[in-house]
Amino acid sequence: MSRQSSFADLDCNHKKRRTRREVFLSEMKGVMPWAVLLPHIEPHYPRTGRRGRQPMALESMFRIYCLQNGFNLSDRQMEDALYEIESMRRFSGFRGVTDILPDETTILNFRHLLEQHELTAILLEAINAHSRRRGCWFAKARWWTPHSFMRQARPRIRDGREILRCIKRRRECNGTLV
């Protein structure tokens, strides 16, 4: 059954330019092996059909966890980002403006579930095994591709000697000759 498009959908689909966040999320959506990762979490995730408040969809919660790590957000910041940023909401699987979004506590409980069952290391290992075949990998929640090394600052060379660049404030370090 198809869903009727809302004004927000139409507005988002007819934008002139995609932001860097949207480009990153579309790359992440295509590169991540979702079908391989979700079975690792599924045995530990609460089941639907019980009484009381139903759990959020597993895939949506895992995508939110990946967003939280990728953009280095706290639980509260992640909740706010889901309400405010359309591209993050779409990536997480929430299409409509009336969809029920997870709150800060739900995001916290999912993160604790992964940590309690020591699934973070298993998931990172599975992601890296899949991604290395494509020439990219994750390291401490940072996305690396062969092109990302080219954008990093390189030392300047003057008179055959390298001048190290210092990222600290200018007063603390002006660059020294090696």
39-53, 58-72, 124-138: segment of lowest average pLDDT: 124-138
| CA–CA distance, 135 with 23 (Å, rounded to integer) | 18
Q: Which one-letter amino acid corresponds to residue 62?
A: F
Handedness of CA 87, 91, 94, 95 (dihedral sign): positive
Q: What is the pLDDT of residue 169?
A: 41
Can you say whether residue 3 is alpha, beta or left, with left for phi > 0 and alpha for psi between -120 and 50 degrees?
beta
8 Å CB contact between 121 and 132 = no
Q: What is the pLDDT of residue 140?
A: 53
| CA–CA distance, 53 with 58 (Å, rounded to integer) | 15
pTM for the structure as a whole: 0.69
Mean pLDDT of 143-167: 48
Q: What is the pLDDT of residue 127?
A: 84
Burial of 178 per CB tally in 10 Å (0-12, 13-18, 19+): exposed
Q: What is the pLDDT of residue 75?
A: 94
8 Å CB contact between 78 and 70 = no
